[in-house]
Chains A and B, each alone.
Chain A
Amino acid sequence: MQRAVAAGTKKFAIGVGIAAAAGAGGLVYALEKSVYASDHVVHPYHLPWSHSGKFSSFDIASVRRGYEVYKQVCAACHSMKFIHYRHFVDTIMTEEEAKAEAAEATINALDDRGQTIQRPGILTDALPNPYANKKAAAAANNGAAPPDLSLMSLARHGGDDYIFALLTGYFDAPAGVKVDEGKAYNPYFPGGVISMPQQLFDEGIEYKDGTPATQSQQAKDVSAFMHWCAEPFHDTRKKWALKIAAFIPFVAVVLIYGKRHIWTFTKSQKFAWKPVKGREPPKQH
């Protein structure tokens, strides 16, 4: 009877537990999938990036083209203060190519007498900042300073998808949305009104490798480049992850075997109660 009650209690407890967990899970799922008017933004669509897989690496050709887009279009207003030309060496360019890229840039520096000069860049230089400081950047752009793009891919919800959607998401403002002079309507930008007008157009630039420079191609390439800039170690970390993951089964076999070997004696112990002659338990009547 006691055992039956205990079994019943256990089944009841498990039933209640599962029902509670399923109820809570269902509630969270339903609310997560709901759309709220307060969102005030169109969420970017998910794109199949070649580097988004667990062990996928960057499409370096795309990253290189993305650099061309950045240099010819974005660099006029946006800095990349954490990226130096040396970062390009043996990653997305050869050393000669990186040196040539740096030499094309004009760097503000001081000469031996402390005078401001302009000189061609070298590998140790950061990508040049188009403005002297944040206030100058804001003053030149209707009061909104263009953000630094080094970490942009990680600094926005949606990451690469957001950047692509934003760059290709310029539309005429719908009725009721007021867009001030010098601003543009972009539903992917929080609030919908952005200070940056549309920058990418079909054949707006010409790629060195001959790839047709459509708007979406440029957006894709510059998104890949920005992601590369945000984490140049991206490919290395995934390569290491794969190596360590491959190592885990072997470690598991050794550890599990070792543990079972150590516990063999304890786990296979058997206790026996043998009656001693003259000290037998009382017989039941």
Chain B
Amino acid sequence: MKGLMNFVNSLVVVLPSSKTLTLSWNFGSMLGMVLAFQILTGTFLAMYYSADSLLAFSSVQYIMYEVNFGWIFRIFHFNGASLFFVFLYLHIFKGLFFMSYRLKKVWMSGLTIYLLVMMEAFMGYVLVWAQMSFWASVVITSLLSVIPIWGPMIVTWIWSGFTVSGATLKFFFVLHFLVPWGLLVLMLVHLIFLHSTGSTSVLHCHGDYDKVCFAPEYWGKDVYNILVWLVFIVMSLISPFVLGDAEMFIEADPMMSPVHIVPEWYFLFAYAILRAIPNKILGVIALLMSIVIFYFFAFVNNYTSSLVKLNKLLVFSFIVSSVVLSWLGQCLVEDPFTLLSVIFSLLYFGLSSTLLFVFMFSKKLFE
């Protein structure tokens, strides 16, 4: 018990922390809060949900209409997923801005959390068993068929049959319930990696001089998250369905697909990249690379110099291109959107690659 207390103490109480951590360093703690919030609301929803293709949609509506305050838990849970992604993206962009990938283990574990959260959000989306989520599951699971040799077998295994069915829903439900606990462990690992060295600071000075204890200074700052969370609560209550699609209120019909399949907003950039390439295999590779490319940042070995302003300009341009790609992801598959998707996909990869090469260049420049 004493050992555990010492561990917690070293992690969030006496941890030497830089004085220069701004509010941008709150994103991580906010993500921890949101994960806990999602697990809490999700566990409540799981008590009433039925992972059966004939009952799933009705059981979700049962939660909305019949369960005491069930609607509020569901509203918070599905909007909580959006809140998670808002802070996940802010967290990643902050990492790129301040070159936090110099902490290799932290960066790699963070990206793995990101991938798992994407998987988790997708599976949760499918559980509603509405038109859009059902057909999104058909589209996304089919992508795995491009894996050489084992692809079709993996797809059949995930489907637990020869099409997306009730068995697939059960598969997704079990995973959707279990993955958050894995995420919780991974988040702890992420935190241990981070706190073994301390955060990157705005000044890019990472030495152990002139630091303050994590508590109470950063507790006082992290508690600001409550304000953001309250604003989120108010917005979820005012416009709970604004981020969703109308097709999420129609029960899944395996015989009739929606005219226009669109994922949730947080997957739109990746969806636009997937659609930009007419070849399925190349499209899936590009989709995967849109995230995997960030793992390569762990190979950056340059602690002595950095072109900070150029880096910031590139990251800012990268954010703009990601936002435009997200908008393109919900547009119809027709000109000029198809052409723009290609241009902005190239920009996305061009900018993220340039971010990497800037380091090689700056290393040569200052050596």
Cα A150 to Cα B231 with chains together (Å): 30
Set A17, A36, A232: member contacting B313, Cβ < 8 A = A17
User: Do A259 and B224 form a contact, CB below 8 Å, given A24-B324, A27-B324, A244-B234?
Assistant: yes
Q: Is the CB of B65 within 8 A of A87?
A: yes
- In the bound complex, residues from chain A placing their C-beta under 8 Å from that of B320 are 20-21, 24
A156 at the interface (CB under 8 A from B): yes
- In the bound complex, residues from chain B placing their C-beta under 8 Å from that of A16 are 313
Q: Is the CB of A262 within 8 A of B220?
A: yes
Q: Is the CB of B332 within 8 A of A36?
A: yes
Q: Is the CB of A244 within 8 A of B237?
A: yes
Set A150, A154, A247, A248: member contacting B241, Cβ < 8 A = A154
Set A10, A28, A238, A266: member contacting B324, Cβ < 8 A = A28
The chain B residue sitting closest to A23, CB to CB, is B320
Stretch at the interface among B80-88, B89-97, B115-123, B242-250: B242-250
Q: Is the CB of A238 within 8 A of B237?
A: yes
Set B223, B317, B334: member contacting A259, Cβ < 8 A = B223
Pick from A16, A231, A232 the residue with the most CB of B within 10 Å. Answer: A231
Shortest distance in angstroms between A37's beta carbon and chain B's nearest beta carbon? 10
- In the bound complex, residues from chain A placing their C-beta under 8 Å from that of B324 are 24, 27-28
Set A38, A190, A255: member contacting B227, Cβ < 8 A = A255
B201 at the interface (CB under 8 A from A): no
Q: Is the CB of A10 within 8 A of B309?
A: yes
- In the bound complex, residues from chain B placing their C-beta under 8 Å from that of A28 are 324, 327
B212 at the interface (CB under 8 A from A): yes
Shortest distance in angstroms between B49's beta carbon and chain A's nearest beta carbon? 16
Q: Is the CB of A241 within 8 A of B230?
A: no
User: Do A248 and B249 form a contact, CB below 8 Å, given A24-B320, A24-B323, A27-B324?
Assistant: no
Q: Is the CB of B234 within 8 A of A259?
A: no
Cα A31 to Cα B320 with chains together (Å): 17
B104 at the interface (CB under 8 A from A): no
- In the bound complex, residues from chain B placing their C-beta under 8 Å from that of A157 are 246
A263 at the interface (CB under 8 A from B): yes
Shortest distance in angstroms between B244's beta carbon and chain A's nearest beta carbon? 8
- In the bound complex, residues from chain A placing their C-beta under 8 Å from that of B221 are 259, 263
Q: How many of chain A's residues touch chain B, expressed as a range? A: 35 or more
B19 at the interface (CB under 8 A from A): yes
Q: Is the CB of B247 within 8 A of A31?
A: no
B356 at the interface (CB under 8 A from A): no
B4 at the interface (CB under 8 A from A): no
Q: Is the CB of A248 within 8 A of B230?
A: yes
Residues of B within 8 A of A (CB-CB), count: 47
- In the bound complex, residues from chain B placing their C-beta under 8 Å from that of A87 are 65
Cα A255 to Cα B68 with chains together (Å): 32
A132 at the interface (CB under 8 A from B): no
A187-217 contact mask (Cβ, 8 Å, vs B): 1 or 0: 0001000000000000000000000000000
User: Do A151 and B332 form a contact, CB below 8 Å, given A9-B309, A237-B237, A247-B230?
Assistant: no
B233 at the interface (CB under 8 A from A): yes
Cα A237 to Cα B216 with chains together (Å): 36
A54 at the interface (CB under 8 A from B): yes
B312 at the interface (CB under 8 A from A): yes
Cα A226 to Cα B313 with chains together (Å): 50
User: Do A244 and B65 form a contact, CB below 8 Å, given A156-B246, A259-B220?
Assistant: no
A92-106: which residues lie under 8 A (CB-CB) from chain B?
none
B222-262 contact mask (Cβ, 8 Å, vs A): 1 or 0: 01101100110110011011000011011000000001000
Shortest distance in angstroms between A50's beta carbon and chain B's nearest beta carbon? 16
Cα A247 to Cα B247 with chains together (Å): 35
A153-205: which residues lie under 8 A (CB-CB) from chain B?
154-157, 159, 190
A interface residue numbers (CB < 8 A to B): 6, 9-10, 13, 16-17, 20-21, 24, 27-28, 31, 36, 38, 54-55, 82-83, 87, 147, 150-151, 154-157, 159, 190, 230-233, 237-238, 240-241, 244-245, 247-248, 251-252, 255-256, 258-259, 261-263, 266
A-B contact pairs, 30 of them (CB 8 A): A6-B309, A10-B309, A20-B317, A21-B316, A27-B324, A27-B340, A31-B337, A38-B332, A82-B64, A87-B65, A151-B61, A151-B250, A154-B246, A155-B247, A155-B249, A155-B250, A157-B246, A237-B71, A237-B238, A237-B240, A238-B238, A240-B237, A244-B237, A248-B227, A248-B230, A248-B231, A255-B227, A261-B220, A263-B220, A263-B221
Smallest CB-CB A-B distances: 4 pairs? A241-B237, A155-B249, A262-B220, A151-B249
Sample of 7 more A-B contacts, CB < 8 Å, known A38-B334, A87-B65, A259-B224 = A17-B313, A82-B64, A231-B64, A237-B75, A244-B234, A244-B237, A255-B223
